[in-house]
Amino acid sequence: MDRRSFLKALGVGGGASALAACGLDDNQYYTPVEEVLPYVARPEQVTPGTNSYFATTVGSGPNAWPATAVHRDGRVINVGANRAAPWAGAVPQSALFELQRHFSPDRLTSPTKGGQPVEWTAAVDELATAVKQARTNGKKVVWLGPYRSGALGELLDTFTDGNAIHFEALGREAESKAAQQVFGSPVLPRYDLSKAHYVLSFGASFLSDAWGGPGEQSNYAKARNANHGGYVARFAAVTPMRDQTGANADDWFACKPGSEAQVAMAIAKLVAKKTGKGGPAARAVASADVNAAAAASGLTAEHLTEIAEHFAHGHAVALPGGIVGASANAVELAAATYLLNLVGGSRDTFMGGGYPGKVHGYDDVQKLMAAMKAGQVGVLLVDDADVVHNLPNGADFAAAMGSVPLTVAVTSHPNETTAKASMVLPTHSVFEDWGVEEPVANVYLVRQPGQVPLHGTMGLGDLLLKAWSKAGMGPATSFQAFVKTYLAAKVYAPTPEPIEGEELPAPAPDGEEAPADPTTTQAFARWFEGILQAGVAAPRRMRPVVLTAVGGVTGGKAEPAGSGDKYLIAFPHPHLLDGRYANQPWAQEQPDPMSGQVWDTWALVHPTTAAALGVSDNDTVSITTASGTLELGVEIHPCVHPDVIAVPTGGGHTRATGRYADAVGKNVATVLPAEAAAGGTQVWQSKVSVSKGSGQADLVSTFGHDDERDRGWVAFCSADEFAKKKDEPAPHPGEMTGIHHLELDERLQEKGIQGFYPIPDHPTYRFGLTVDTNLCTGCGACSVACYAENNLPVVGKHKVKEGREMSWIRINRYYKQDAGITKDHGVEGDVSVHFTPLMCQHCGHAPCESVCPVLATYHSIDGLNAMVYNRCAGTRYCSNACPYSARKFNYHTYVWPEPFNLQLNPDVVSRTMGVMEKCTFCVQRLRRTKSAYRDQGFKKTIPSEALEQLVACAEACPSQALTFGNIVDEASAPNFTRKSGRNFIPIADISTYPAVNYLAKASFYFQPGHHGGGGGGDHADEGGHADEGHGGKPTDAHGAEKSHEPAHDEH
């Protein structure tokens, strides 16, 4: 071989082997060869790699809420707002907890009998046989579950022959019973808080998901928001404790437990006197004794007169108790609030036609239990109501289940009750099923699947229909068809009901003969398509139904049962609710808005009571009732009546509920009396004796200090003043407390120099957010939405204790105790509670950016404080430099147990250990929106409307307290609010020029010119100059703070 041939051979051979080596790489990290193939049959409505949105309904009964299921590549990855729905678009946190529940690793995946897997056909056969047998033997077929309205409610009634028990632990039973008593109909009344000027609550948690659903919160926000209103709704709470809802009250009247009904009657009497209204309601309240009520409640007659005066002004609404007011006379209280609303003449805020579905009471469940024990029940279907956990005598219920020949769990997620069932037939989650809900009379919310079922489950409706037809009692049909028929009957072609003056909608399109089954027509198919897109079907205008009293109420004080000198009050856990979300890590890790507690059950104790007991934070107290003793960790809390120990519901589950709920907290229901109250409702209060427990609890709170020490993290303005000015972009007469702006030297100002450094250039966009602290109720929906959107890991109690929760939004809860902002009513040392959601402020002069050695964080041209995870080496210097402490560090690589990983947002990378992260202003959504607008013509900037609720937190916020937008755009919403006199920047004197601005909270006590402790404080600034950082747009020099107090004592 000559030299040339050798080189040729070498070249060819070498090249060939190199090529071969590329394909034969056995390195496992070698990128696999992937082939891109088109679908042969493309799935309908889905484009791979992009989101599809399905209007659907989350929740059930009165808490049903219109939402959109965000579908991506075969799975629902998020829940969005449905703006086509009648209420303002929002995503309540419970909707997101439902999403996590849908992907729960503890979900029931296939039918079992006695723990052994069975086939669906065999299981349905067995159910059908059992139902048939029960019917022939004259035994009852009972379904027990949460409030189910609409199509499923109707189907359940048919299936059980009227023996469907709709029961919820945090339910509306008292209101329904009271409605029966006062109005002669169990249909709940409807409240329209959006028109209220004065909201008087006797304990209803209407600003959380625990009472009334987020619709109330949205409506309250409308009344509270003076940006567009001209008034600010005032909120007074007559309760023995302030939960998260009560924390938002302007006036807290701390009454003794059990006295609320009497107080409500007394107020009603005073209001009736003022308004001079006659009628049955006024007659019913005439016998009330104001002085006796004042004495019983611990308030004064002046307090009651004060409330009555506000109430008599009109546009007022009184809300009943929830479970905080569900003492021995919850029904009386609800009835009294109805009468109060009637005498107050608030027809625009209080009307008939609320939730029309069935609401069963505690007494019904007790009767069912007796029937079960007596062998009168042949088949018991247990839906998503964990009665074994929630009833004080849950163990009895579990025992009674043994007396029923066939107990079937028909839920998607296990709990203590399903663990006792002899057969488990797992149902679809809300994101896999069909349905129609009717939360308010004549408003139908449609549920459609957002994805194919994850597991081998069956929809509850389908299951019932299958068993029904198997038993030979009805035709074989699917639940989807049933839903169509239901909608056709209720909305599409309703049987005309003769209502005077009411215009009925056209039953069917013109020219078509209404066929026997309208659902088979083309026109219906088109109509149904439209309904599915909107997610809501309402056949006619919702006309307020005027209520008149037909019955009265005695309204005496009812002392809670038991003995002891203190009262135990169970209040709804703001996230776990009655415990249904206890196995959802998002719900457990979301701090309690008031105490910051996570992953536990705690006891709220008033400071004076704690001092008397000799306990401090995290010590334990023993709470003893006739039913037992509960030892709980103490959280000292100024927002409870000194005689009250308040404990949240929803804790103390067993492994039956799931791995995350297992042994977390304690179950307060176990120490409550099992006897029903006089009205037949469940009792959530008891007299107790309390003593100091042994040892320390292991409570974990995410909160640091309660007091913001006049550093300018919170601001108050005068509600009256700012209501007059409607938040106009003009110098505002209502100056604020607590805001300090260090002014630049006069010589610099003369030269027009605003700051030391130039402002970053933002030619097209500077994204910004406005947080209205007047609207924020602290509910935490924004934070949960952020977890869902941005793949935030849940770290667990142990790591939260080490301060390592990953939430990008921290909702600071500050107490302000100041004569100028609060007023004590019945309890000494009341505080004003201030919620401030804090996320990355996307500063124009971000201290974090300049200190990062590797440029992992930088200021983008769109005004974002961008964070490049891949570039981050983890010096954590940025976090140290951040004045807002907004950055979170990945201390570990967190894993999502399957199938939680399916929920991860594919647009957002999941971070690994050693990397810093923080709020990105949902940059993935911004990119998507920008691309969409660029596709429409390249030069267009995104219009303001498309941005306002774009970020996940703003989309979720039920109060719409968060408004997003482009500050460069003069017409954008954040730009509008930035000119408001209420606008402030926390710790503005650090001059970071943040993109997140805040609006001051309205106070009814704060008077302009008053500075007691609220402002100035330990600052040396002269004059409160509301300059927007270095924004060059000093609004005005309102607020000449001249009063300075000496530096505060440090502890």
Partner 1 sequence: MAHVEVIDPNDPGKPNRPDTYGETNRDILRVLLKPSVGYMLGVLLAFTGMVIGGWSWYQQITWGMGVAGITHPTMWGVYIVTFVFWVGIGHAGTLISAILYLVRSKWRTGVYRASEAMTVFAVMTALLFPVLHLGRCWQAYWFFPYPNQRQLWLNFKSPLMWDVFAISTYFTVSVVFFYVGLIPDIAAFRDHSRGLVRKFYGVLALGWRGTHRQWYHYMAAYGFFAAFAAPLVLSVHSVVSWDFAMAPTPGWHSTIFPPYFVAGAIFSGCAMVISLLMPMSYLFDWHKYVNTWHYENLAKMCMLTSGILTYAYGMEYFVSWYSQNPYEQNIFLWRATPTAAYGWAFYLMVFCNCIAPLAWYSKKLRTNHISLFIVAAIVNVGMWFERFNIIVSSLAHNFDPATWWYYWPSYIEWGVLIGSTGWFFFWFLLFAKSFPAIALTEIKEMVEPPVKGSV
Site residues (vs partner 1, CB under 8 A): 703-711, 713, 799, 802-804, 810, 812-814, 838, 847, 850-855, 871-877, 879-885, 888-893, 913-916, 987, 990, 1017-1020, 1047, 1050-1051
Q: Which amino acid is at 846?
A: A
What distance in Å separates the CA atoms of residue 49 and residue 704, rounded to the nearest whole number?
Answer: 42
Q: How far is the CB of 858 from partner 1 (least distance, A)?
A: 8
* 666 vs 810 by CB, closer to partner 1: 810
Closest distance of CB 1043 from partner 1, Å: 15
Distance CA 736, CA 981 (A): 8
Residue 750 makes CB contacts below 8 A (sequence gap 6+) with none
- Considering the complex, state which of residue 361 and residue 585 has its C-beta at the smaller distance from partner 1: 585
**54: which strand partners?**
69
Residues 6+ positions from 499 with CB-CB distance below 8 Å: none
Q: Which CB sits closer to partner 1, 536 or 848?
A: 848
Pick from 131, 110, 133: nearest CA to 120: 110
- Give the residue among 959, 940, 941 at the shortest CA–CA distance from 949: 959
**What's the closest the beta carbon of residue 789 comes to partner 1, in angstroms?**
21
Q: State the minimum distance, in angstroms, from the CB of residue 835 to partner 1.
A: 11
User: What is the closest distance, in whole angstroms, from the C-beta atom of residue 795 to partner 1 in the complex?
Assistant: 9
The least distance separating partner 1 from the CB of residue 834, rounded to whole angstroms, comes to 10
Nearer to partner 1, 443 or 846 (CB): 846
Contacts of 512 (CB under 8 A, 6+ apart): 521, 523
For residues 23 and 1046, which CB has a smaller minimum distance to partner 1 in the complex? 1046
Complex with partner 1: residue 404 or 714, whichever CB lies closer: 714
Shortest Å, Cβ 875 to partner 1: 6
Distance CA 443, CA 541 (A): 9
Q: Choose between 659 and 705: whose C-beta lies nearer to partner 1.
A: 705
Among 278, 806, 387, 329, CA closest to 590: 806
Nearer to partner 1, 309 or 1022 (CB): 1022
Amino acid at position 1004, single letter: F
CB of 864 to partner 1, least distance (A): 17
In the complex with partner 1, the residue whose CB is nearer, 441 or 851, is 851
Of the two residues 876 and 934, which places its CB atom closer to partner 1 in the complex?
A: 876
Q: In what order do the strands lie in the sheet with 536-537?
A: 435-440, 443-447, 536-537
Residue 489 DSSP code: I
The residue among 354 and 596 lying less far from partner 1, judged by its C-beta, is 596
What's the CA gap between 690 and 722, in Å, rounded?
Answer: 46
The residue with tokens 């194919």 is 452
Asked whether the beta carbons of 333 and 264 are under 8 A apart, the reply is yes
Task: Report, in Å, the least distance between residue 856 CB and partner 1.
Answer: 9
Q: Which residue has the tokens 């004569």?
A: 819
Q: Kindly state the smallest distance separating residue 798's Cβ from partner 1, in Å.
A: 10
Q: Which CB sits closer to partner 1, 235 or 894?
A: 894
Closest approach, Cβ 816 to partner 1, in A, equals 12
Listed in sequence order, the residues at least 6 apart from 318 whose beta carbon sits closer than 8 Å to its beta carbon are 200, 201, 202, 264, 267, 311, 337, 340, 341, 344, 350
Q: How far apart are CA 666 and CA 415, in angstroms?
A: 15
Q: Which residue lies nearer to partner 1 by CB, 165 or 806? A: 806
At 841, is the secondary structure helix, strand, or coil?
A: coil
- For partner 1, which is the closer residue by CB, 542 or 851? 851
- Beta-carbon contacts of 171 under 8 Å, excluding residues fewer than 6 positions away, are 147, 359
| Of the candidates 181, 177, 172, the residue with the CA atom closest to the CA atom of residue 549 | 181
How near is the Cβ of 456 to partner 1 at its closest, in Å? 37
Nearer to partner 1, 596 or 974 (CB): 596
Contacts of 82 (CB under 8 A, 6+ apart): 55, 56, 66, 67, 68, 89, 535, 536
Kindly tell me which of 324 and 996 has the beta carbon lying closer to partner 1.
996
Closest approach of partner 1 to the CB of residue 867, in Å: 13
Run of H or E including 158? helix 150-160
Angle between helical axes of 330-344 and 260-275 (0-180°, round to 10): 10
Greatest C-alpha distance within the chain: 123
Q: How many CB atoms lie within 10 A of CB 532?
A: 15
Residue 767 structure tokens: 């994204």
- Nearest distance in Å: CB 891, partner 1: 3
Ranges of beta strands (E only) in 526-625 are 536-537, 566-571, 602-605, 619-625
CB of 595 to partner 1, least distance (A): 13
Q: Whose Cβ is closer to partner 1: residue 806's or residue 961's?
A: 806
375: left (phi over 0), alpha (psi -120 to 50) or beta: left
Question: Closest Cα partner for 635 from 703, 574, 587, 578?
Answer: 703
Among residues 555, 96, 587, 592, which one has the least CA distance to residue 333?
555
Least distance in angstroms from the C-beta of 1022 to partner 1? 11
Tell me the chain's radius of gyration from C-alpha atoms: 30
Residues 6+ apart with CB under 8 A from 510: none
Our CB check for partner 1 shows the closer of 282 and 916 to be 916
Pairing of strands 377-382, 423-424: unpaired
Residues 6+ apart with CB under 8 A from 435: 57, 150, 151, 152, 446, 447, 461, 479, 483
To partner 1, the closest distance from the beta carbon of 615 in angstroms equals 19
Residue type, 300: T
CB atoms within 10 A of CB 949: 24
User: Shortest distance, CB of residue 872 to partner 1, whole angstroms?
Assistant: 7
